[in-house]
Amino acid sequence: MDPKLKQAIDQRDWFYRFELPDGSTTRSYLPESAEQVHDTRLRMMQQALEPLRAQPEQFSVLDLASHQGWFSLQAAALGFAPVTGLEPRASHIADARLMAEAVGAGQVRFVQSDIEHIGGTDIEPADVVLMLGLLYHLENPVAAIRTAHAYCKRLCLIETQVGPHLSGMLDWGSYEFVRPIQGCFTVIDETEETHGNEASTEGICLAPSAETLLWIMRKVGFVDVGLVAPPADGYEQHRHGKRVLAVGHMP
Ligand SMILES: C[S@@+](CC[C@H](N)C(=O)[O-])C[C@H]1O[C@@H](n2cnc3c(N)ncnc32)[C@H](O)[C@@H]1O
């Protein structure tokens, strides 16, 4: 491994624990209590991608919100190709490219843009779309799920924090015109944190309930939609259903 790359990587902490070719691992700036979130999501992603893993080189991957590229590089390490990461923050793009170079992942590229403007990039639909840790940072989550569907050729994974669910009937103009509630969103304020590495870029965030996420995924056209079961020893948020990984397929 190029000593200059190694030096650039070692001089700071990262969001993820990257395994480097020299056998070392990067330090993570996440508190120890939260570090398990990545490993659990990776295991759930591997489980969901199992049907494609016999010949992964035949399947392309689009990683929406690729951050420092960890999930893109994990997909590449599983053999998927090509892999494209989309990420609005310039510093993350630079970090992801540095990491891809360090691990020699030539089949991975990173494009600086956001999901709302993906149409202005040269990104093409991919067999697998990953949308991990993004949905609950967006003010237009339904549009984002539609975009994930529009760019998906086979299988889409959406991992998100979820809020409480509400069901029942709602008066819709009159008590005579009641409608069943299909789902609900929780609104969270990140307007003071838009500078943050992991935060929303706009600040107004809508987190769906798990049932709402599944309902919207079906409505935009995914089939065989469901939740991936978390591992029994996984991160507490996944074990307790506070974060979920949903999978949807193209018809
Ligand atoms: C919590 S991090 C998740 C990163 C990675 N996908 C993961 O699951 O570990 C949220 C990421 O979404 C990116 N992001 C924020 N707003 C976005 C948008 N509108 N479109 C695409 N990415 C966005 C952030 O820059 C950040 O990298």
Question: What are φ and ψ of residue 80, in 5° steps?
Answer: -70, 145
Q: Is 139 in the pocket of ligand 1 (CB under 6 A)?
A: no
Q: Can you tell me the distance from the alpha carbon of 132 to that of 158, in angstroms, rounded to the nearest whole number?
A: 6
Q: Is 132 in the pocket of ligand 1 (CB under 6 A)?
A: yes
Pocket test for ligand 1, best of 74, 147, 198, 238 (most atoms within 8 A of CB): 198
**Six token digits for residue 216:** 């919207």
* Res 205: pLDDT: 97
Q: Can you tell me the distance from the alpha carbon of 74 to that of 67, in angstroms, rounded to the nearest whole number?
A: 13
Q: Is 134 in the pocket of ligand 1 (CB under 6 A)?
A: yes
Atom 18 of ligand 1, nearest CA residue: 114
Q: Is 35 in the pocket of ligand 1 (CB under 6 A)?
A: no
1 has a pLDDT exceeding 90: no
* Helices then strands, each counted (H, E), the chain: 7, 11
* Res 11: pLDDT: 93
Atom 3 of ligand 1, nearest CA residue: 133
Q: Can you tell me the distance from the alpha carbon of 116 to that of 231, in angstroms, rounded to the nearest whole number?
A: 33
2 has a pLDDT exceeding 90: no
196 has a pLDDT exceeding 90: no
Which atom of ligand 1 lies closest to the CA of 87? 22
- Which CATH topology does 3-249 take? Rossmann fold (3.40.50)
77 has a pLDDT exceeding 90: yes
Q: What confidence tens digit (pLDDT) does each residue in 21-70 have?
A: 999 999 999 998 899 999 999 999 999 999 999 999 999 999 999 999 99
Q: Can you tell me the distance from the alpha carbon of 172 to that of 177, in angstroms, rounded to the nearest whole number?
A: 5
Domain ranges of the chain: 3-249
Q: Is 87 in the pocket of ligand 1 (CB under 6 A)?
A: yes
Q: What confidence tens digit (pLDDT) does each residue in 82-123 have?
A: 999 999 999 999 999 999 999 999 999 999 999 999 999 999
Which atom of ligand 1 lies closest to the CA of 16? 9
Q: Can you tell me the distance from the alpha carbon of 64 to that of 72, in angstroms, rounded to the nearest whole number?
A: 9
**Six token digits for residue 122:** 């040269």
Which of these, 63, 192, 240, 187, lies nearest to 134 by C-alpha position? 63
Q: Can you tell me the distance from the alpha carbon of 161 to that of 37, in angstroms, rounded to the nearest whole number?
A: 12
Which atom of ligand 1 lies closest to the CA of 68? 27
* Res 12: pLDDT: 92
Q: Is 88 in the pocket of ligand 1 (CB under 6 A)?
A: yes
Q: What confidence tens digit (pLDDT) does each residue in 129-183 have?
A: 999 999 999 999 999 999 999 999 999 999 999 999 999 999 999 999 999 999 9
pTM as predicted? 0.97
**% residues pLDDT > 90 (the chain):** 94
